[in-house]
Copies of this chain bind each other. A is one copy, B any other.
């Protein structure tokens, strides 16, 4: 791009297993246009990459801009990401995503510099930079959705470590010999407290003959269960849902304490779809458990809360990344 057409607009894209979400941001990180699309990962990698390019173009159009006016694009992608080369090493929730040079492919299609990071790292970057105005020096975020991921801020910067794999907190073992995780190990936090884990526990309980209002809503197989169903069941006083959500919140609280004991943060952020849907029910238990399990002094004056950015965390973080890295 010739120097004259460069501008300070940036685009953030959140690439998820089911949804693509893009947002155009000004230099001062105000969002001025967004677009959404389903991922359709079953159509294959090449088609998904085209859809990512398309959602980018649509967001830019919504913002009354053209691609040429973008300084850069920051992408949060699920799974293991080599952020140096912008390659998706492996994304378990997307069919065929192994060693996909996403940066290279998108730069070819869009003609704009592209930067790729792990989706939870990006979400934490968004929360830290915009919601928390970059104030926390040492912080971590736990994002609870289909899986559990995290992001770590050290000395005010996103921390990725030697192999750029840091903050794989969903695969912290907290119950040796516990339930099997998608990663192949047993007892990972993700296998105990993610939406997937919660749903599995409820389905197993129903199979074992336990009663729940969820079967009235969804049938005896609990098909198409969503976090919203759990919220409804809880508000109607469903005992089984209450027990399972309480257990999950306790596991998350233990995970928070483990991380706090290791990292001594000033700020702890909770986010992701499960927290968004069930913050009222889970947050108090998470905080109480974390305080119980943290060593004396560790939680002293530490801020712990649920992010208000919600869905916006990913696109915001992508914009922050692009703003930071695009020349």
Interface residues in chain A, defined as those with a beta carbon under 8 Å from any beta carbon in chain B? 80, 89-90, 137-138, 150, 152, 154-155, 159-169, 171-178, 183, 185, 187, 251, 254, 257-259, 261-266, 292-293, 295-298, 300-302
Contact = CB atoms under 8 A, between A and B. Distances in A.
Contacts of A262: 150, 152, 166-169, 172, 259, 262-263
A257 B188 CA distance: 11
B297 A165 contact: yes
Nearest to A157: B155
A163 B257 contact: no
Contact of A168 (B171, B177, B298): B298
Nearest to A159: B154
Contacts of A89: 296-297
A140 to B, nearest CB: 9
A279 B99 CA distance: 38
Given A168-B298, A264-B166, A161 B138 contact: yes
B251 A163 contact: no
A163 B259 contact: no
Contact of A163 (B176, B292, B297): B297
Determine chain A's interface SS by DSSP, over half rule. loop
Contacts of A164: 264
A142 to B, nearest CB: 11
A175 B175 contact: yes
Nearest to A172: B258
A293 to B, nearest CB: 6
24 contacts: A89-B296, A138-B161, A138-B162, A152-B262, A154-B154, A154-B155, A154-B159, A162-B264, A162-B266, A163-B264, A163-B297, A165-B261, A166-B262, A166-B263, A167-B264, A168-B298, A169-B262, A172-B261, A172-B262, A173-B174, A173-B293, A176-B178, A176-B254, A183-B295
Contacts of A266: 161-162
Contacts of A261: 165, 168-169, 171-172
Given A154-B154, A258-B258, 16 more contacts: A89-B296, A89-B297, A152-B262, A154-B155, A161-B265, A161-B266, A162-B264, A162-B266, A163-B264, A163-B302, A168-B298, A171-B261, A171-B293, A173-B257, A174-B174, A185-B292
A268 B154 CA distance: 19
Contact of A174 (B159, B176, B183): B176
A251 B176 CA distance: 8
